[in-house]
């Protein structure tokens, strides 16, 4: 028995969000999951998503993304949202032929989570150590792949850090995203470039790190944009 008006029409188109954050305690990336209320897979942890075909109030796909972001499934500000792709086939949803348009999103602020929400290690979800229903594991893997490739030649990982951060914090987040050490001297060059280009500004403030000399901070002047470098980090 179909459980939604859209499924009754034999087709489902959903949008699904991969909301990532950087956990400073574990120094690892985490992904937001929701405990599903409705069938199928009620009670399982899955990506937050909504159906966009059928009688929805949204005027555009982006409106639907914003509605999902505002809903209790996400319910937090997002520093970045980017469409990654659309998959569709006859098997991924037991109800009917379905497509999913899925997004990479980045949350920089820590917020109180609801009962049905949880952040899980991205690594475990991407490699399916933590199994999700539908094909959500492969969507997460694709999102991780996108994040990694963009980290090579853009400032995207800085989105995890919020509007004010230090060079060592930048080194950390790039190292975590790329899964390998990044030299502070390379990072410094890149931050300098971004400053020259008007993306960053010295604040004059400092924050104390893990003991040792305090860290100077910079302010993100264009928090909604990523800067593109003309070279990649090398292997």
* DSSP assigned state of 71: S
Helix/strand/coil for 193: helix
**Given candidates 63, 209, 222, 225, which one binds DNA under the rule CB under 7 A?**
209
**Given candidates 216, 219, 221, 226, which one binds DNA under the rule CB under 7 A?**
216
Q: Per rule CB under 7 A, is residue 208 in the interface with DNA?
A: yes
The CA distances from residue 179 to 100, 101, 163, 193, in Å, are 28, 27, 23, 23
Of 204, 201, 234, 216, give the one whose Cα is nearest residue 166: 216
The two tokens of residue 235 are 């292997």
The two tokens of residue 171 are 């080194």
Report the Cα 103 to chain-centroid distance in Å: 8
**What's the CA gap between 48 and 36, in Å, rounded?**
9
156 binds, among its own copies, DNA, none (CB under 5 to 8 A by kind): none
**What's the CA gap between 168 and 132, in Å, rounded?**
34
Among the candidate windows 16-24, 41-49, 56-64, 156-164, which touches its own copies by CB under 8 A? 56-64
**What's the CA gap between 21 and 28, in Å, rounded?**
9
Q: Per rule CB under 7 A, is residue 183 in the interface with DNA?
A: yes
**Cis previous bond, 13, omega within 30:** no
**Given candidates 97, 130, 133, 154, which one binds its own copies under the rule CB under 8 A?**
97
Closer to its own copies by Cβ: residue 89 or 109: 89
Q: Least separation, in Å, of the C-beta of 120 and its own copies?
A: 26
Q: Per rule CB under 7 A, is residue 188 in the interface with DNA?
A: yes
211 binds, among DNA, its own copies, none (CB under 5 to 8 A by kind): DNA
Cα dihedral sign for 124, 163, 228, 106?
positive
Q: How many residues lie near DNA (CB under 7 A)? A: 28
Q: Per rule CB under 8 A, is residue 56 in the interface with its own copies?
A: yes
The contact set with DNA (CB under 7 A) reads 166-168, 182-186, 188-190, 193, 206, 208-216, 229-234
The contact set with its own copies (CB under 8 A) reads 6, 9-11, 13, 52-56, 58-61, 64, 83, 85-91, 97, 99, 101, 153, 230-232, 234
């Amino acid at each position: 028995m179909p459980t939604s008006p859209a499924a009754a029409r034999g087709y489902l188109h959903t949008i699904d969000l991969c909301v990532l954050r950087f956990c400073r305690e574990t120094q690892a990336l985490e992904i937001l999951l929701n405990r599903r209320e409705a069938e199928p897979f009620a009670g399982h942890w899955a990506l937050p998503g909504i159906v966009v075909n059928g009688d929805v109030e949204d005027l555009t796909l982006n409106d639907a993304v914003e509605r999902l972001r505002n809903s209790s499934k996400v319910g937090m500000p997002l520093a970045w949202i980017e469409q990654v792709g659309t998959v569709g086939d006859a098997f991924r949803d037991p109800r009917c032929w379905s497509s999913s348009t899925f997004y990479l999103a980045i949350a920089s602020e820590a917020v109180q989570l609801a009962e049905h929400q949880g952040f899980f290690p991205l690594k475990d979800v991407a490699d399916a150590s933590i199994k999700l229903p539908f094909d959500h594991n492969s969507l997460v893997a694709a999102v991780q792949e996108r994040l990694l490739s963009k980290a090579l030649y853009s400032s995207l990982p800085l989105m995890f850090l919020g509007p004010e951060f230090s060079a060592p914090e930048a080194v950390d987040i790039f190292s975590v995203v790329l899964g390998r050490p990044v030299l502070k001297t390379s990072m410094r060059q890149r931050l300098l470039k971004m400053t020259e280009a008007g993306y960053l500004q010295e604040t004059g403030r400092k924050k104390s790190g893990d003991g040792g000399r305090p860290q100077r901070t910079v302010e993100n002047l264009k928090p909604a944009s990523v800067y593109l470098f003309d070279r990649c980090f090398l292997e």
